[in-house]
Amino acid sequence: MAAFLTNFFVLAAGEASRFGSPKQLAELQGDTLLQLAERRVETLAQRLHESGYESKSYLVLGANREKIYSAVDAQKWTDVVVCENWKEGMAASIYAGLSHCLSRKSLLNQTQQGTLILLLDQPVLNDSDLVRFLLNAIQKNCMYASAYPDSIGPPVYFPKQSMNDFMRWYESGGRRPKKFLGEHDVKVGKVGGVQQDVDTPADLANLDRPVV
């Protein structure tokens, strides 16, 4: 049997209108949010490998992609995916990533796989929590979402069936990922730092360093 494969999607396609400039290139104590995301997927890949799992990583870009791409360390990513419909929001970015990885010839017959969806503007996630969250999701082979005070949200894990379900949902007009989650049986896990997202320069100034 083929080794279990986890796809990491880092969503970074938004315009960042409230931030006033491409926040992917904004710095948190000397590192850009893009560099922090690259480091996070490296850490996740290493820890999954230690547990016997393979992984591939995808960066999803949209607005300002030419400027952001020039700062990408291509060796850190399996592929950089362009979401042409980035104005439609997060659902379009997830769909673009799923369409891309499921169309890759090397993955078509990879029945044992799932996808972890991460947001670039959540730079201080607790990596130990995230590894535990991901391993639980893989081992239980079910959809997992992160706990918020009054809701659930990203990081989110889709097993392969949910990857296909999301694509059909999007193609039928679905545009709100939380609605998709609400229509399915979703397990919930705790990941520290999910509430510390970056929408404005003030948000960035108030953040702590990531906990590894």
pLDDT tens digits for range 107-116: 555 667 899 9
CB 187 within 8 A of CB 140: yes
Residue 61 domain-assigned (yes or no): yes
Q: What is the pLDDT of residue 106?
A: 56
Q: What is the pLDDT of residue 111?
A: 62
Residue 210 domain-assigned (yes or no): no
Question: How far apart, in whole angstroms, are the C-alpha atoms of residue 11 and residue 83?
Answer: 10
Question: How far apart, in whole angstroms, are the C-alpha atoms of residue 84 and residue 134?
Answer: 29
The model's pLDDT over 40-92, given as tens digits with 9 standing for 90+, comes to 999 999 999 999 999 999 999 999 999 999 999 999 999 999 999 999 999 99
Residue 117 pLDDT greater than 60, yes or no: yes
Residue 14 domain-assigned (yes or no): yes
Question: How far apart, in whole angstroms, are the C-alpha atoms of residue 156 and residue 152?
Answer: 9
Residue 212 domain-assigned (yes or no): no
Give the DSSP letter string of 93-116.
HHHHHHHHHHH-TTTTT--SEEEE
Q: Could you tell me the pTM of the whole model?
A: 0.93
Residue 165 domain-assigned (yes or no): yes
Residue 45 domain-assigned (yes or no): yes
Domain at 200, CATH number = 3.90.550.10
Residue 197 domain-assigned (yes or no): yes
Q: What is the pLDDT of residue 1?
A: 44
Residue 147 domain-assigned (yes or no): yes
Q: Mean pLDDT, to the nearest integer, of 151-170? A: 95
Domain around 91: 5-205
| Backbone torsions φ then ψ of 184, nearest 5 degrees | -130, 165
152 pLDDT band, cuts 50/70/90, is very high
Give the number of domains in the chain: 1
